[in-house]
Every structure is written in C-alpha cells, then in structure tokens.
Chain A
Amino acid sequence: MIFLAKAAEIPEGERKLVKVNGVEVAVFHHEGRFYALNNACPHRQGPLIRGTIGTAAGRTGCFIRCPMHGWKFDLATGDSNGRPANATIYPIDQRGAELFIEI
C-alpha cells in the first residue's frame, strides 16, 4: 500500500489530484466517503479531476462525468454503464488520518 494523502487535505465535497508512482490519481471526498480513480478517462484521456459529480436516476451510488465528452463512471466501481471501457479505480484504505492505495 502506498500513501496517498492525509484525509484532512481533502475536506468533504473537495477533490485533489495526487501523483503516485508517476500515475495521476483523482481523489474525491463525497458524502462521507473517499474515492480514488485514475485521472485519465479511458475514452480520450480527459481529466476526471475536472469532472462533475452526480447521482444517476435509477442507479445506486454516485458518478463522475468526464468534462471532455461526457462519459460517466461509478465512483466506487469505475463502471461506465455501457461505454466501451471502464475507469480504473483504486480502493482506498483509510488508516486513521491517512489514506493509502494499492497501485
């Protein structure tokens, strides 16, 4: 597991871009939970850190919408709901005040 960030650096509703082993990881703190995804959208590599968070009608959980061409991904699973590729997610291990991921 690799250190990602201190939880206090990303207050509720905020986000942060962190580089881990040369990989850009988009970290979101949304409704009490932390999420980490590869920042590059699998469509045209758009920056998910600039995306819009929302809740899909009829679906559980939250999604992040890529700002480039609108692909949406489940924040927890990376599922793209039928698009040709999913986002890469990194499960977060919160140890006290610190966040870790495996990458």
Chain B
Amino acid sequence: MSIRLDQIQPIIDREYGYLITEHPHWSLTKGDQDLELVAHALRVLLHMKTTPRHLAEYLALVDCQHADGGWGKMSSHQESAAWVTAFCALMLIRGNLHLKHPRIAEAVRKCARYFLETQKEDGKWSDPSWADLDAVSHPISFFDVLLSVGRNLVDEPTLSRIKDSWRKGMQFMLERQAADGGWYDPEFHPTGVEITAHLIQDSIVADLVLGNELNVRDCCQKGVLKLLSVQAADGSWDGENVDHTMDCSRSIMLVCSILGTRAQCDGAIERGLEWILKHKCETGWPDFPGMETNLERTCDGLDTLLKYKAYSQPVTTAIMKLWGYAA
C-alpha cells in the first residue's frame, strides 16, 4: 500500500482534536442540534473507541427520541423521518455494545418498532429528503446490525417480524439494480454514484455476513465494478465531490474485503484516499475542493481514514466492525 499508516495517524489525531474542540456545535448536551451531524460525530467517537467516555451524548440522543421511536432532522423537530431515525438508531445500537445502558437498549427496541410500523407494503420506507432507495437502505442497515450483533435486544416474535421486514426491504433494492451494476434515481441521483456506494456498503453486502440467504455476491461485485468504472483519473468521484468520493472509497473497502477482491480494488481505494488527503483544508474537509471546512464532511473524512486503517489489517472482521456487522 502506498499510503502509510504512520502518515495518516497524525492527521486522524489532529482532526479528532478539532472535532472535540467543535463539541458545542454537534453535542446534544449543548442544546438543539442537527441530528445528521450528531450521528456523524457519534460514529467518529465509536471508531476512535472513545464511546465509553461519552455516555451523556448517547443518553441525550435517547432523550429527544419521539414516542413513535423516531427522530426528526433537528432534535427539536416533532415529526419523525426514516433516514435520520435509522442513522440515530445505528449509533445507539452500536454505541450500546460498549455502554450497555438499559435506557439505550429500550430506545433501540423503540427504533425497531418504528421501522416495523412504517414500512410500506412494497418493502420501502419513504422520506421526502431522500431517494426511496436511500430511505430503504438505512433502516435495512439498522436491521443488518441488529441481526448481526443485537438479536438479544428483542424477543423472538419481534425478531421474526424484523427478518420478514428485512427481506422485503432487501428485495426492494435488489430488484432495482440496473444492468450496469448501479442504482439510479431520476429525481435525486441520475449519476447513481452515491446511491450505489450507499446501498452496497450500508445494507446489501451484510447478507453475506448474515448467512447469504439472498445470494448477493454478484450484485455487490457488479456494484463495485460500476463504482470503479466511474472513478476519475485523479481518484475522485462524481465531479470532485468530496462526500461522494469518501462514500465510494469506504464502500469499496468494505465490499471488496468481504468479497475477497482486494487486489482488484486496492489501486482505486488508494487513489481515492490520496485525492481526499490532497483536498483537505488546513483543518477539516470541505464539500468540494477549495470550499470552507464543513463539520459533517470532517466527520466523514475521519471515518474514511479510520476505515482505511481497519482495511489495512489482514483480518476482514476489523473493517466489518466499523459498519457494525461484527462485534
């Protein structure tokens, strides 16, 4: 590998320090917050293995959960939305692997009920802020993690309902893969780059960990090949989009690790990482090269480097843990 870990570790340390100094801007203990940003920050705490020091952050997230089990875009919003609820739910179920707090466990059960009760007949969830495929992928990701490491949280009848719901959601996504391996949404994602990267890493590939019931290997491999085929020569994706380049890099790291196709993907991952490192701001990352630092993107940048560290380890479980597919 051309990117050395001793090269990125100082960047991780520095950027994590920056995130901590920005605590008032993402912590629910300081007031109303954008919950997508909160979830991004909690994911960094998880992957930095500092979750046990931050119980108050997770309990604050429990405190603003709605009676129906969901969350809104802002912690003060009263209406629940599927995508952000799934992101919050993922952080709670994964955080509680370390915190083991009964209030968090109960909140996770409420999340499961929320998704069971809001799934549509055709297997999808709807969220006006996101494409249907993304709105399906994130709850399925939560169910993936629950089925992988959180079965003890729910009773057998609920587990059975979750498995049925998971199957319907997975089918919704699998039936919509295009012949070229990508997923597209004419309204939100005509290029298909971000949505393809999201789907294969956040939901579909987990089937291979959960017992290969739906035989998704070819589907994932086609998705990876699609992403590889649209990477720019400079290593970026989707018109120098930092967010989407981080998404694609992370997605390929996980999926090729599980598929056992690292040799095919190492070059693309390293070009992606090099581009990401080249275009960071002095502190943090922007949405596009030359723009100002964005805190959410900085969380994504840290997450990408931490996942690259895990990818660099010879055991596949190291990187699977960073999606919650292994304890």
Report A's interface with B, CB cutoff 8 A. 43-47, 50, 67-72, 82-84
Q: Considering the complex, which residues of chain B in the window 62-88 have a beta carbon less than 8 Å from any beta carbon of chain A?
A: 73
Q: Nearest Cβ in chain B — how far from A2, in angstroms?
A: 22
Docked pose: A44 CA to B194 CA in angstroms: 15
Q: A45-B287, A70-B190 are known contacts; what are 7 more A-B pairs with Cβ within 8 Å?
A: A50-B239, A50-B288, A67-B238, A67-B288, A68-B287, A69-B194, A82-B128
**Distance between B138 CB and nearest chain A CB, rounded to angstroms:** 13
The chain B residue with its CB closest to the CB of A70 is: B188
**Interfacial chain A residues near B6, Cβ < 8 Å:** none
Question: How many Å from the CB of A11 to the closest CB on chain B?
Answer: 22
Kindly state whether residue B294 has any CB partner on chain A within 8 Å. yes
Contact of B241 with A67 in the complex, beta carbons under 8 Å: yes
Contacts of A72 in B (CB 8 A): 187
The distance from the CB of A44 to the nearest CB of chain B, in whole angstroms, is 7
Please determine whether A70 and B131 come into contact, CB atoms closer than 8 angstroms. yes
Contact assessment for A47 and B296 in the assembled complex, using a CB-CB cutoff below 8 Å: no
Which residues of B does A touch, CB under 8 Å?
A: 36, 73, 128-131, 185, 187-190, 194, 238-239, 241, 243, 287-288, 291, 294, 296
CA A50 – CA B187 in complex, angstroms?
17
Looking at A43, A45, A50, A67, the one whose CB has the most chain B CB atoms below 10 A away is A67
A70 touches B185 (CB 8 A): yes
Contacts of B187 in A (CB 8 A): 70, 72
Most chain A CB within 10 A, of B194, B287, B294, is at B287
| Complex CA distance for A46 and B296, rounded to whole angstroms | 11
The 3 closest A-B pairs by CB, nearest first: A70-B188, A70-B189, A84-B128
Q: B291, A44: Cβ atoms under 8 Å?
A: no
Partner of A46, one of B73, B130, B190, B287: B287
B36 touches A44 (CB 8 A): yes
Q: Which residues of A contact B130 (CB under 8 A)?
A: 69
Question: Which chain A residues lie closer than 8 Å to B190 at the CB level?
Answer: 70
Q: Are B291 and A47 in contact (CB under 8 A)?
A: yes
Min distance, Cβ A25 to any Cβ of chain B, angstroms = 15
> Which residue of B is nearest A72, CB measured?
B187
Whose C-beta in chain B lies nearest to the C-beta of A81? Answer: B187
A51 to B10 alpha-carbon distance, docked (Å): 34
Q: Which of B73, B188, B288 contacts A84 (CB 8 A)?
A: B73
* Given A46-B287, A84-B129: A69 in contact with B296 (beta carbons within 8 A): no
